[in-house]
Amino acid sequence: MFFKNPAIFKKISTLKLTYLFGGVLIIISAIGGIVFLGNEHHQPGLSHKKAEQVNRPEAAVKINNPLVSKNVNRPNLSNNLGNRSRPIPAKSISEAELPMLARIIHAEAGGESLKGQVAVGAVLLNRIKSGHFPRTLKANIFRPGEFESVSNGYIWSGSPTDASYRAARLALNGWDPTYGSLYFFNPAKTRSRWIWSRPITVIIGKHNFAG
């Protein structure tokens, strides 16, 4: 029989080993390919959500960047600044004080335009709101050496006009032609170096208004 032939038996054994070794290599290659593909689609340590962020970097920026998320609903600052520049109604005064405001307006700016009279009233109200002057209208008007019409008694000569009352109410309603000024003076009559050192914000009629 051919099995008893050593040459034939050796040849058959060699073929069996070759086929067996080739089969093992095929199986190992197949397993390696499966592992490689699995690692490519499922990276260890990454959740499904994070995997999506890796493939979509713009999504990761929106989620992880706190500046982007905070700016989404941030109000427009320019609008806020614009609102802040609008006239703010002055602190209310009692009905009994309204004639006194009209009286000081009449005494200090009776010959001025309506705007010029409102400006004088606005200065008084600005002082009340500033925190650097007395907190009441009367205390500001009668502050020693503050107003010439008070010092010379002119404030009591005659009654306030309708225009002065109107100017007082307009100032109380928030009209401030002086842009927040705390001082006013007639440059033709004032020699004070200190008042001239104040920054002038606007000139209305015969008065300079300063901060």
The confidence score (pLDDT) of residue 31 equals 60
Query: Please, what is the end-to-end C-alpha distance for the chain in angstroms?
Result: 127
In sign, the C-alpha dihedral spanning 159, 167, 202, 140 is positive
Cβ atoms 185, 195 nearer than 8 A? yes
Convert the pLDDT of each residue in 142-194 to its tens digit.
Answer: 999 999 999 999 999 989 999 999 999 999 999 999 999 999 999 999 989 99
Q: How many domains does the chain contain in total?
A: 2
Mean local confidence (pLDDT), 100-119:
98
With a threshold of 0.85, does the pTM exceed it?
no
Domain coverage including residue 52 = 2-71
Residues 121 and 191 in one domain: yes
Task: pLDDT band for 13, please (50, 70, 90 cuts).
Answer: low
Q: Tell me what percent of the residues of the chain surpass a pLDDT of 90.
A: 53
Return the higher-pLDDT residue of 103 and 6.
Answer: 103
Residues 107 and 156 in one domain: yes
